[in-house]
Structure 1
Amino acid sequence: MSTYIDFLEKELGTIEKGWSTDAKGEKLPFDVVKYCRGPFQGTVTYSTLGISHHKLECSSSNKLIRHELFMITDEDFGENEVVQVLQQLGLEALQAHSPYLRGQVIGPRGIVFKGSSLEALYVSSPAYYPEEFHVYESGEELPIVQVWMIPITANEADYVLRYGWSQFEDILVEEDPDLIDFSRVSIV
Protein backbone atom coordinates (compact mmCIF):
# COMPACT_ATOMS: atom_id res chain seq x y z
CA MET A 1 0.00 0.00 0.00
CA SER A 2 1.36 3.39 -1.01
CA THR A 3 1.90 6.00 1.72
CA TYR A 4 1.70 9.77 1.55
CA ILE A 5 5.50 10.00 1.48
CA ASP A 6 5.57 7.50 -1.42
CA PHE A 7 3.06 9.73 -3.21
CA LEU A 8 5.26 12.80 -2.66
CA GLU A 9 8.55 11.14 -3.59
CA LYS A 10 7.06 9.71 -6.79
CA GLU A 11 6.62 13.27 -8.09
CA LEU A 12 9.32 15.19 -6.19
CA GLY A 13 12.10 12.64 -5.86
CA THR A 14 13.54 11.34 -2.63
CA ILE A 15 13.74 13.45 0.48
CA GLU A 16 17.30 14.77 0.71
CA LYS A 17 17.18 16.65 3.96
CA GLY A 18 14.83 17.55 6.80
CA TRP A 19 14.43 20.09 9.58
CA SER A 20 12.46 19.38 12.75
CA THR A 21 13.63 22.36 14.82
CA ASP A 22 13.50 26.09 14.26
CA ALA A 23 16.50 28.46 14.08
CA LYS A 24 16.60 28.58 17.90
CA GLY A 25 16.78 24.78 18.11
CA GLU A 26 13.21 24.37 19.40
CA LYS A 27 11.27 21.28 18.29
CA LEU A 28 8.42 22.00 15.90
CA PRO A 29 5.11 20.08 15.63
CA PHE A 30 5.97 19.27 11.98
CA ASP A 31 9.04 18.93 9.76
CA VAL A 32 10.20 20.78 6.67
CA VAL A 33 11.85 18.61 4.03
CA LYS A 34 13.78 19.16 0.83
CA TYR A 35 13.22 16.85 -2.14
CA CYS A 36 15.88 16.11 -4.73
CA ARG A 37 14.00 17.71 -7.61
CA GLY A 38 11.49 20.29 -8.65
CA PRO A 39 9.20 20.53 -11.66
CA PHE A 40 12.00 21.79 -13.94
CA GLN A 41 15.69 21.08 -14.45
CA GLY A 42 17.71 22.97 -11.84
CA THR A 43 14.87 23.34 -9.33
CA VAL A 44 14.03 21.69 -5.99
CA THR A 45 10.90 21.49 -3.89
CA TYR A 46 10.47 21.96 -0.15
CA SER A 47 7.43 21.04 1.90
CA THR A 48 6.10 20.78 5.38
CA LEU A 49 5.42 17.26 6.65
CA GLY A 50 3.10 16.79 9.60
CA ILE A 51 0.71 19.72 9.33
CA SER A 52 -1.69 17.31 7.62
CA HIS A 53 -2.00 15.38 10.90
CA HIS A 54 -4.19 18.29 11.98
CA LYS A 55 -7.67 18.90 10.65
CA LEU A 56 -7.81 22.65 10.17
CA GLU A 57 -11.18 24.38 10.11
CA CYS A 58 -12.05 26.81 7.35
CA SER A 59 -13.61 29.85 9.04
CA SER A 60 -15.95 30.66 6.13
CA SER A 61 -17.48 27.19 5.77
CA ASN A 62 -16.49 25.19 8.90
CA LYS A 63 -15.13 22.60 6.48
CA LEU A 64 -12.19 20.57 7.78
CA ILE A 65 -9.08 20.60 5.60
CA ARG A 66 -5.76 18.80 5.79
CA HIS A 67 -2.84 20.26 3.88
CA GLU A 68 0.91 20.58 3.51
CA LEU A 69 2.74 23.67 2.29
CA PHE A 70 5.17 23.67 -0.65
CA MET A 71 7.73 26.05 -2.13
CA ILE A 72 9.76 25.60 -5.30
CA THR A 73 13.17 27.23 -5.75
CA ASP A 74 16.23 27.14 -7.94
CA GLU A 75 18.49 24.39 -6.62
CA ASP A 76 21.19 26.89 -5.63
CA PHE A 77 18.84 29.18 -3.70
CA GLY A 78 19.55 29.47 0.06
CA GLU A 79 17.62 26.72 1.78
CA ASN A 80 17.64 28.29 5.26
CA GLU A 81 15.38 31.15 4.20
CA VAL A 82 12.89 28.80 2.55
CA VAL A 83 12.84 26.53 5.59
CA GLN A 84 12.23 29.48 7.93
CA VAL A 85 9.37 30.80 5.78
CA LEU A 86 7.66 27.38 5.68
CA GLN A 87 8.17 26.92 9.42
CA GLN A 88 6.61 30.31 10.16
CA LEU A 89 3.65 29.69 7.85
CA GLY A 90 3.10 26.22 9.27
CA LEU A 91 3.15 27.46 12.84
CA GLU A 92 0.70 30.24 11.99
CA ALA A 93 -1.73 27.77 10.40
CA LEU A 94 -1.57 25.46 13.42
CA GLN A 95 -1.87 28.30 15.95
CA ALA A 96 -4.91 29.71 14.14
CA HIS A 97 -6.19 26.17 13.52
CA SER A 98 -7.07 27.50 10.08
CA PRO A 99 -5.95 26.32 6.62
CA TYR A 100 -4.54 28.47 3.86
CA LEU A 101 -6.99 28.72 0.97
CA ARG A 102 -6.43 29.16 -2.74
CA GLY A 103 -6.24 32.82 -3.65
CA GLN A 104 -5.29 33.94 -0.15
CA VAL A 105 -2.53 36.53 0.23
CA ILE A 106 -0.24 36.49 3.24
CA GLY A 107 1.36 39.89 3.72
CA PRO A 108 2.94 42.07 2.52
CA ARG A 109 5.23 41.68 5.51
CA GLY A 110 8.42 43.13 4.09
CA ILE A 111 11.04 41.39 1.99
CA VAL A 112 10.50 37.60 2.05
CA PHE A 113 14.00 36.71 0.83
CA LYS A 114 17.23 38.72 0.90
CA GLY A 115 18.02 40.32 -2.45
CA SER A 116 14.40 40.06 -3.57
CA SER A 117 11.55 42.55 -3.95
CA LEU A 118 8.95 39.89 -3.10
CA GLU A 119 7.02 40.88 0.03
CA ALA A 120 4.01 38.58 0.27
CA LEU A 121 2.93 35.03 -0.44
CA TYR A 122 0.12 33.85 -2.69
CA VAL A 123 -1.64 30.57 -1.94
CA SER A 124 -2.27 28.35 -4.96
CA SER A 125 -2.46 24.79 -6.15
CA PRO A 126 0.90 23.45 -7.39
CA ALA A 127 0.26 24.30 -11.04
CA TYR A 128 3.75 23.25 -12.17
CA TYR A 129 2.85 19.66 -11.25
CA PRO A 130 0.25 17.31 -12.77
CA GLU A 131 -3.30 17.71 -11.50
CA GLU A 132 -3.26 14.26 -9.85
CA PHE A 133 -0.54 15.60 -7.51
CA HIS A 134 -2.71 18.43 -6.16
CA VAL A 135 -4.64 16.23 -3.70
CA TYR A 136 -3.64 12.98 -1.99
CA GLU A 137 -6.53 10.64 -1.26
CA SER A 138 -5.91 7.52 0.77
CA GLY A 139 -9.61 6.69 1.05
CA GLU A 140 -9.28 6.43 4.84
CA GLU A 141 -9.36 10.06 6.01
CA LEU A 142 -9.79 13.54 4.67
CA PRO A 143 -7.64 14.07 1.58
CA ILE A 144 -4.39 16.04 1.90
CA VAL A 145 -4.25 19.16 -0.26
CA GLN A 146 -0.87 20.28 -1.62
CA VAL A 147 -0.62 24.07 -1.18
CA TRP A 148 1.93 26.05 -3.18
CA MET A 149 3.17 29.19 -1.43
CA ILE A 150 4.26 31.58 -4.20
CA PRO A 151 6.30 34.66 -3.26
CA ILE A 152 4.78 37.77 -4.87
CA THR A 153 5.40 41.52 -4.91
CA ALA A 154 3.49 44.08 -2.84
CA ASN A 155 1.85 45.34 -6.07
CA GLU A 156 0.71 41.81 -6.93
CA ALA A 157 -0.65 41.32 -3.40
CA ASP A 158 -2.57 44.58 -3.71
CA TYR A 159 -3.92 43.50 -7.11
CA VAL A 160 -5.27 40.23 -5.66
CA LEU A 161 -6.93 42.08 -2.79
CA ARG A 162 -8.49 44.66 -5.17
CA TYR A 163 -9.55 42.49 -8.10
CA GLY A 164 -9.66 38.94 -6.74
CA TRP A 165 -7.56 35.85 -7.14
CA SER A 166 -9.27 34.66 -10.31
CA GLN A 167 -8.23 37.79 -12.23
CA PHE A 168 -4.72 37.52 -10.81
CA GLU A 169 -4.45 33.90 -11.99
CA ASP A 170 -5.68 34.98 -15.44
CA ILE A 171 -2.74 37.42 -15.57
CA LEU A 172 -0.37 34.67 -14.42
CA VAL A 173 -1.54 32.51 -17.32
CA GLU A 174 -1.30 35.39 -19.81
CA GLU A 175 2.10 36.72 -18.68
CA ASP A 176 3.58 33.33 -17.70
CA PRO A 177 6.20 34.75 -15.30
CA ASP A 178 8.88 32.51 -13.83
CA LEU A 179 7.38 32.04 -10.35
CA ILE A 180 10.54 30.29 -9.20
CA ASP A 181 12.66 33.38 -9.95
CA PHE A 182 12.62 35.27 -6.65
CA SER A 183 14.30 38.28 -8.26
CA ARG A 184 11.52 38.75 -10.82
CA VAL A 185 9.67 42.04 -11.24
CA SER A 186 5.96 42.59 -10.67
CA ILE A 187 3.57 41.55 -13.44
CA VAL A 188 0.98 44.22 -12.49
Structure 2
Amino acid sequence: MRDFIYFLEEHLGNVLYGWSTGHTGKKLPFQVAKYSDGPFLGTSTYTTIGLSDHLLKSTDGKEIRQELVIVSYTNFGDENIPGILQQVGMFLLKDHQALLRGDVVGPYGSLFKGSKLEALYASIPVYFPESFEIYDGGDVPIVMTWLIPIMASEVQFVRTDGWEAFENRLEEVDPDLVDYRRSSVLLEG
Protein backbone atom coordinates (compact mmCIF):
# COMPACT_ATOMS: atom_id res chain seq x y z
CA MET A 1 0.00 0.00 0.00
CA ARG A 2 2.91 2.34 0.70
CA ASP A 3 3.97 2.20 -2.97
CA PHE A 4 0.43 3.03 -4.07
CA ILE A 5 0.26 6.04 -1.71
CA TYR A 6 3.59 7.19 -3.19
CA PHE A 7 2.08 6.80 -6.69
CA LEU A 8 -0.93 8.93 -5.68
CA GLU A 9 1.17 11.65 -4.04
CA GLU A 10 3.59 11.68 -6.97
CA HIS A 11 0.67 12.63 -9.25
CA LEU A 12 -1.59 14.57 -6.85
CA GLY A 13 0.66 16.16 -4.25
CA ASN A 14 0.60 15.43 -0.53
CA VAL A 15 -2.46 14.04 1.22
CA LEU A 16 -3.96 16.99 3.11
CA TYR A 17 -6.54 15.04 5.09
CA GLY A 18 -9.06 12.27 4.70
CA TRP A 19 -12.26 10.57 5.77
CA SER A 20 -12.64 6.99 6.99
CA THR A 21 -16.21 7.11 8.30
CA GLY A 22 -19.49 7.80 6.55
CA HIS A 23 -22.09 10.39 7.52
CA THR A 24 -23.44 8.06 10.24
CA GLY A 25 -20.01 7.75 11.84
CA LYS A 26 -19.63 4.12 10.76
CA LYS A 27 -16.14 3.09 9.62
CA LEU A 28 -16.04 2.33 5.90
CA PRO A 29 -13.99 -0.40 4.17
CA PHE A 30 -11.96 2.30 2.35
CA GLN A 31 -10.95 5.91 2.87
CA VAL A 32 -11.28 9.15 0.94
CA ALA A 33 -8.32 11.51 0.71
CA LYS A 34 -7.90 15.10 -0.42
CA TYR A 35 -4.59 16.08 -2.03
CA SER A 36 -2.71 19.36 -2.24
CA ASP A 37 -2.70 19.48 -6.04
CA GLY A 38 -5.07 19.06 -8.91
CA PRO A 39 -4.38 18.64 -12.60
CA PHE A 40 -3.99 22.41 -12.99
CA LEU A 41 -3.58 25.51 -10.85
CA GLY A 42 -6.43 26.20 -8.43
CA THR A 43 -7.78 22.64 -8.36
CA SER A 44 -7.85 19.89 -5.77
CA THR A 45 -8.13 16.16 -6.23
CA TYR A 46 -9.92 13.57 -4.11
CA THR A 47 -9.58 9.79 -4.36
CA THR A 48 -10.72 6.68 -2.65
CA ILE A 49 -7.93 4.67 -1.01
CA GLY A 50 -8.52 1.03 -0.23
CA LEU A 51 -11.43 0.44 -2.60
CA SER A 52 -8.83 -1.42 -4.67
CA ASP A 53 -8.39 -3.92 -1.82
CA HIS A 54 -11.58 -5.46 -3.21
CA LEU A 55 -11.71 -7.22 -6.57
CA LEU A 56 -14.53 -5.92 -8.74
CA LYS A 57 -16.00 -7.65 -11.77
CA SER A 58 -16.29 -5.99 -15.15
CA THR A 59 -19.01 -6.85 -17.67
CA ASP A 60 -16.87 -9.56 -19.28
CA GLY A 61 -16.32 -11.24 -15.88
CA LYS A 62 -12.73 -10.05 -15.66
CA GLU A 63 -11.70 -8.90 -12.18
CA ILE A 64 -10.15 -5.49 -11.72
CA ARG A 65 -9.04 -3.25 -8.87
CA GLN A 66 -10.31 0.31 -8.95
CA GLU A 67 -10.03 3.65 -7.17
CA LEU A 68 -12.27 6.65 -7.82
CA VAL A 69 -11.13 10.22 -8.54
CA ILE A 70 -12.95 13.57 -8.41
CA VAL A 71 -11.46 16.98 -9.21
CA SER A 72 -12.85 20.35 -8.11
CA TYR A 73 -11.71 23.92 -7.80
CA THR A 74 -9.93 24.41 -4.50
CA ASN A 75 -12.13 27.39 -3.62
CA PHE A 76 -15.23 25.17 -4.04
CA GLY A 77 -14.42 23.46 -0.74
CA ASP A 78 -15.13 19.85 0.12
CA GLU A 79 -18.96 20.21 0.09
CA ASN A 80 -20.43 16.78 -0.84
CA ILE A 81 -17.35 15.36 -2.54
CA PRO A 82 -16.20 12.94 0.22
CA GLY A 83 -19.77 11.67 0.65
CA ILE A 84 -20.19 11.17 -3.09
CA LEU A 85 -17.01 9.08 -3.28
CA GLN A 86 -18.12 7.10 -0.22
CA GLN A 87 -21.57 6.42 -1.66
CA VAL A 88 -20.28 5.36 -5.08
CA GLY A 89 -17.59 3.18 -3.48
CA MET A 90 -20.15 1.44 -1.26
CA PHE A 91 -22.44 1.01 -4.28
CA LEU A 92 -19.61 -0.78 -6.13
CA LEU A 93 -18.81 -3.00 -3.16
CA LYS A 94 -22.46 -4.02 -2.72
CA ASP A 95 -22.36 -6.22 -5.84
CA HIS A 96 -18.59 -6.13 -6.42
CA GLN A 97 -19.19 -4.59 -9.85
CA ALA A 98 -16.61 -2.28 -11.41
CA LEU A 99 -17.50 1.11 -12.82
CA LEU A 100 -16.33 1.12 -16.43
CA ARG A 101 -15.61 3.96 -18.86
CA GLY A 102 -18.91 5.34 -20.09
CA ASP A 103 -20.94 4.09 -17.11
CA VAL A 104 -23.25 6.56 -15.41
CA VAL A 105 -24.30 6.65 -11.76
CA GLY A 106 -27.58 8.52 -11.27
CA PRO A 107 -29.23 10.92 -11.78
CA TYR A 108 -30.16 11.37 -8.12
CA GLY A 109 -30.94 15.10 -7.93
CA SER A 110 -28.53 17.98 -7.48
CA LEU A 111 -25.08 16.82 -6.34
CA PHE A 112 -24.08 20.29 -5.14
CA LYS A 113 -26.01 23.27 -3.86
CA GLY A 114 -26.97 25.56 -6.73
CA SER A 115 -25.76 23.08 -9.36
CA LYS A 116 -27.62 21.36 -12.20
CA LEU A 117 -25.25 18.38 -12.02
CA GLU A 118 -27.16 15.26 -10.98
CA ALA A 119 -25.13 12.22 -11.99
CA LEU A 120 -21.58 10.94 -12.37
CA TYR A 121 -19.94 9.83 -15.61
CA ALA A 122 -17.03 7.36 -15.37
CA SER A 123 -14.02 8.06 -17.57
CA ILE A 124 -10.28 7.86 -17.77
CA PRO A 125 -8.58 10.74 -15.93
CA VAL A 126 -7.62 12.72 -19.04
CA TYR A 127 -6.78 15.89 -17.10
CA PHE A 128 -3.80 14.01 -15.62
CA PRO A 129 -0.70 12.48 -17.22
CA GLU A 130 -1.28 9.11 -18.86
CA SER A 131 0.91 7.52 -16.17
CA PHE A 132 -1.93 8.18 -13.67
CA GLU A 133 -4.49 5.99 -15.47
CA ILE A 134 -3.27 2.66 -14.07
CA TYR A 135 -1.11 1.71 -11.11
CA ASP A 136 0.66 -1.51 -12.05
CA GLY A 137 2.41 -2.33 -8.78
CA GLY A 138 0.44 -5.34 -7.59
CA ASP A 139 -1.03 -8.66 -8.65
CA VAL A 140 -3.89 -6.93 -10.48
CA PRO A 141 -3.39 -3.35 -11.78
CA ILE A 142 -5.44 -0.59 -10.15
CA VAL A 143 -7.56 1.42 -12.58
CA MET A 144 -8.01 5.09 -11.67
CA THR A 145 -11.56 6.08 -12.65
CA TRP A 146 -12.49 9.75 -12.92
CA LEU A 147 -16.05 10.59 -11.87
CA ILE A 148 -17.26 13.61 -13.84
CA PRO A 149 -20.44 15.29 -12.55
CA ILE A 150 -22.97 15.63 -15.39
CA MET A 151 -26.53 16.86 -15.95
CA ALA A 152 -29.65 14.72 -16.42
CA SER A 153 -29.85 15.75 -20.10
CA GLU A 154 -26.24 14.58 -20.55
CA VAL A 155 -27.11 11.26 -18.90
CA GLN A 156 -29.89 10.82 -21.43
CA PHE A 157 -27.47 11.62 -24.26
CA VAL A 158 -25.01 8.96 -22.99
CA ARG A 159 -27.83 6.40 -22.77
CA THR A 160 -29.27 7.12 -26.22
CA ASP A 161 -26.18 8.02 -28.25
CA GLY A 162 -23.47 6.10 -26.38
CA TRP A 163 -20.43 7.06 -24.36
CA GLU A 164 -18.19 7.51 -27.40
CA ALA A 165 -20.56 10.15 -28.81
CA PHE A 166 -20.64 11.87 -25.41
CA GLU A 167 -16.86 11.95 -25.16
CA ASN A 168 -16.65 13.28 -28.73
CA ARG A 169 -19.07 16.03 -27.66
CA LEU A 170 -16.84 16.82 -24.67
CA GLU A 171 -13.86 17.16 -27.01
CA GLU A 172 -15.82 19.44 -29.37
CA VAL A 173 -17.19 21.75 -26.67
CA ASP A 174 -14.17 21.48 -24.32
CA PRO A 175 -16.16 22.42 -21.20
CA ASP A 176 -14.58 23.09 -17.82
CA LEU A 177 -15.46 19.76 -16.21
CA VAL A 178 -14.19 21.01 -12.84
CA ASP A 179 -16.73 23.86 -12.82
CA TYR A 180 -19.74 22.46 -10.98
CA ARG A 181 -21.87 25.39 -12.12
CA ARG A 182 -21.09 24.83 -15.81
CA SER A 183 -23.59 24.83 -18.68
CA SER A 184 -24.64 21.72 -20.52
CA VAL A 185 -22.38 20.44 -23.31
CA LEU A 186 -25.51 19.75 -25.37
CA LEU A 187 -27.13 22.23 -27.70
CA GLU A 188 -30.23 23.36 -25.87
CA GLY A 189 -33.02 23.86 -28.06
Deviation of 1:78 (Å): 2.9
Q: Which residue of 1 aligns with 2:76?
A: 77
Q: Aligned runs of 1:146-185 on 2, under 5 Å?
A: 146-185=144-183
Determine the structure 2 residue equivalent to 1:46: 46
Assess if the C-alpha contact under 8 Å between 2:64 and 2:142 holds in 1. yes
Q: How far does the alpha carbon of each residue in 1:105-146 deviate from its partner, in whole angstroms, 9 at most, with x for none?
A: 1111111111100011100010000111100001x4100000
Q: Counterparts of 2:38 and 2:18 in 1: how far apart (Å)? A: 16
CA-to-partner distance for each residue in 1:39-88, whole Å, 9 max, x for gaps?
A: 01110000000000011112x21100100000000002131410000000
Give the secondary structure class of the aligned counterpart of 2:160: helix
* Aligned match of 1:35: 35
Q: Secondary structure at the match of 2:84?
A: helix
User: Using the alignment, how far apart are the partners of 2:23 and 2:75 within structure 1?
Assistant: 20
Give 5+ residue unaligned stretches, structure 2: none
SS at match of 1:180: coil
Per the alignment, residue 120 of structure 1 pairs with: 119
User: Aligned to 1:79, what secondary structure does the other structure show?
Assistant: coil
Query: What's the counterpart of residue 90 of structure 2?
Result: 91
TM-score normalised over the length of structure 2: 0.96
Aligned length: 185
Report sequence identity in percent: 48
RMSD: 0.9
Tell me the residue number matched to 2:55: 55
